[in-house]
Amino acid sequence: MTSAALFVAVFLACAVEAVEALTIVLAAGTARDWRSALWGVGAGLSALAVIVAALGPALTAIPIDALRMVIGGLLLIFGLQWLRKVILRATGHKALHDESRIFDETLAAARSADSRRSAVIGDWYAFTLSFKGLLLEGLEVAFIVLTFGVSQGGIGTATVAALCAVALVTGVGIAVMAPLARVPENGLIAVGRRKVTA
């Protein structure tokens, strides 16, 4: 895989995760409290940074052949799951990923939930929802960067691609203040998978 192909694959895969995180944060902010939701984003990013900083150097202690085998195996499992999902969606056996529906469901759940308050965090529900969404989707982004970057020997390119994807999705999300329902996630997954196996 060339550097350009690696960049495209990581960019597309991370854009999908960023759209999902954006949907959760938008729902938390819109339905509950923006200040608490943004605190959750900050806390999630901080936790993510700590996890990556702690686990990143540990990877260098693992023999490269063993690391390649584990990452290659995980990549193959992920690729097969993505391909399976795309085929099932394309053939109508699985519902298409609908960011608008997910946003509406999250919004309804957030509006009906009770919440605790504290001096710093005005709404713990909004904080927790944003925090979990950011951390889980962020971990997936970190995992994508790691698996694609290490297996193709381009961790720098993969990191830049991921940052570009997250920055683009965040920028567009702030500009439109709505879930990015028009992003063709199913198509992106299919293209990303093809790039991985190319």
Partner 1 sequence: MTRLRRFLFFWYDFVVGDDWRMAVAVVAALVITFVLAGAGLPAWWVLSLAVLVVLPLSLRHATRDR
Q: Answer yes or no whether residue 78 interacts with partner 1 by CB under 8 A.
A: yes
Report the alpha-carbon distance of residue 135 to residue 21 in Å, rounded.
9
**Least CB distance to partner 1 at residue 171 (A):** 27
Q: Which stretch binds partner 1 (CB under 8 A): 16-24, 27-35, 112-120, 137-145?
A: 137-145
Q: Which stretch binds partner 1 (CB under 8 A): 12-20, 30-38, 76-84, 163-171?
A: 76-84
Tokens of 135: 């951390």
Rounded to 10 degrees, the C-alpha dihedral 154/159/161/167 comes to -170
Q: Answer yes or no whether residue 88 interacts with partner 1 by CB under 8 A.
A: yes
Q: Answer yes or no whether residue 84 interacts with partner 1 by CB under 8 A.
A: yes
Q: Answer yes or no whether residue 140 interacts with partner 1 by CB under 8 A.
A: yes
Q: Answer yes or no whether residue 76 interacts with partner 1 by CB under 8 A.
A: yes
Tokens 């495209």 correspond to what residue?
Answer: 8
Q: Answer yes or no whether residue 77 interacts with partner 1 by CB under 8 A.
A: yes
**Least CB distance to partner 1 at residue 178 (A):** 28
In the complex with partner 1, the residue whose CB is nearer, 7 or 124, is: 124
Rounded to 10 degrees, the C-alpha dihedral 38/44/47/48 comes to -130
Cβ atoms 193, 6 nearer than 8 A: no
Cβ atoms 34, 122 nearer than 8 A: no
Cβ atoms 50, 138 nearer than 8 A: no
Q: Which stretch binds partner 1 (CB under 8 A): 22-30, 81-89, 111-119, 182-190?
A: 81-89
Q: Residue 196: which of 73, 88, 79, 74 has the closest Cα? A: 79
Helix (H) or strand (E) holding 60: none
In the complex with partner 1, the residue whose CB is nearer, 4 or 87, is: 87
Q: Give the footprint of partner 1 on this chain (CB under 8 A).
A: 69, 73-74, 76-78, 80-81, 83-85, 87-88, 91, 93-94, 136, 139-140, 143
